[in-house]
Amino acid sequence: MNARLMQQAIRRRYSWHLHPPFKAKFDRSHWWEGLSDTEHQAAPFGREAALYELARRHPLVAEETPINATLPGSEPPIPLPSIFGPKPSLLWTRRLAMRSWVNLKKSEQSAWKSNMGKVKGLDLRPQESLCRNVTRLAHLAINQQKENALNASAEAAPELSGLGWLSLFTNPTAREWEAAIAQCAIEAQRQGYVLLAVAPDMAAHKAQSVLLKVYQEQLKLYPAAQALQRARWQDWLPLISSFENAEARGDKQREQAFVRYRRVVDAIHFT
């Protein structure tokens, strides 16, 4: 393939939504044009909207391939385990990609955001996934174990069940606490969480100050963990407009718009 044909193939890969069979299905309306600066940055037209409009134009959205492979000793092809499949962020983007942000239901917007994680400097993870209370989780785990044991004994000997439910309100033993704490802490550590122990009798403002300081010290020990690409989301929507308008007009100077657009799109890494 000569250089010209290769360049055309690359350009078509990034403009897939402007050509059949997607051209008639893909909502290419530039709904953000004409919004004031205040409207542009406010919900529902904020950073999430800008990221969605950019992500749904990513080449991978149109390049869904069957997850199949030939493994030794098997009849080809066989499905690979789900861990090798597309990430949730890409799956949700593919599912919604034909519609613009303003045409999604609020439930669809929320589902998409909750599955995106950290992308292009934006952290869209839900708050409940950012911090865990290991002590509380351990207490819930102990109660669940007691409830399971109580249900099992009631099924085995209904006549002896009686007031067994009162055991749910007894204080856990030291052994129960240690086992539950260890289990919850290990699970959090395996998922990459930083484990901190906090004194229980601090004032709220004191706890906030102490936790911030300790967390910052943790980041200094592991600088890679704090590396976060700066999000320039205010530029993304105008960049989309510039690229697509130049493509539609066939401008001779459209190469510059394509280069900028491609650079920004390539920085999206679905997680």
- The percentage of residues in the chain with a pLDDT greater than 70, rounded to a whole number, is 76
Integer Cα distance of 102 and 98 in angstroms = 12
Asked if 106 and 174 sit in the same domain, the reply is no
Asked if 15 and 117 sit in the same domain, the reply is yes
Asked if 15 and 114 sit in the same domain, the reply is yes
pLDDT tier for residue 106 given thresholds of 50, 70 and 90: very high
Asked if 110 and 71 sit in the same domain, the reply is yes
pLDDT at 204 over 50: yes
Asked if 44 and 10 sit in the same domain, the reply is yes
Asked if 42 and 172 sit in the same domain, the reply is no
Asked if 66 and 99 sit in the same domain, the reply is yes
Domain assignment of residue 102, yes or no: yes
In this prediction, residues 108-124 reach a mean pLDDT of 85
Asked if 140 and 168 sit in the same domain, the reply is yes
Domain assignment of residue 128, yes or no: no
Asked if 10 and 95 sit in the same domain, the reply is yes
pLDDT tens digits along 127-158: 767 787 888 888 888 888 877 777 766 565 55
Asked if 54 and 161 sit in the same domain, the reply is no
Integer Cα distance of 150 and 167 in angstroms = 8
Domain assignment of residue 38, yes or no: yes
Q: Which of the two residues, 38 and 114, has the higher pLDDT score?
A: 114
Total tally of structural domains belonging to the chain = 2
Domain assignment of residue 104, yes or no: yes
How many Cβ atoms sit within 10 Å of the Cβ of residue 48?
19
Asked if 164 and 251 sit in the same domain, the reply is no
Asked if 27 and 112 sit in the same domain, the reply is yes
Q: Which residue range forms the structural domain that includes residue 165?
A: 133-192
Domain assignment of residue 24, yes or no: yes
Closest CA relative to residue 48, chosen from 133, 116, 126: 116
Integer Cα distance of 121 and 231 in angstroms = 5
Of 145, 177, 192, which closes a domain?
192
pLDDT tens digits along 141-200: 888 887 777 776 656 555 445 545 555 566 788 888 888 888 888 888 877 778 888 888
Domain assignment of residue 19, yes or no: yes
Tokens 């539609």 locate to 248
Closest CA relative to residue 212, chosen from 119, 220, 77: 220
Residue 70 backbone zone (phi > 0: left; psi -120 to 50: alpha; other: beta): beta
Q: How many CA atoms lie within 13 A of 162 on its CB side?
A: 3
Domain assignment of residue 251, yes or no: yes
The reported pTM is 0.65
Domain assignment of residue 127, yes or no: no
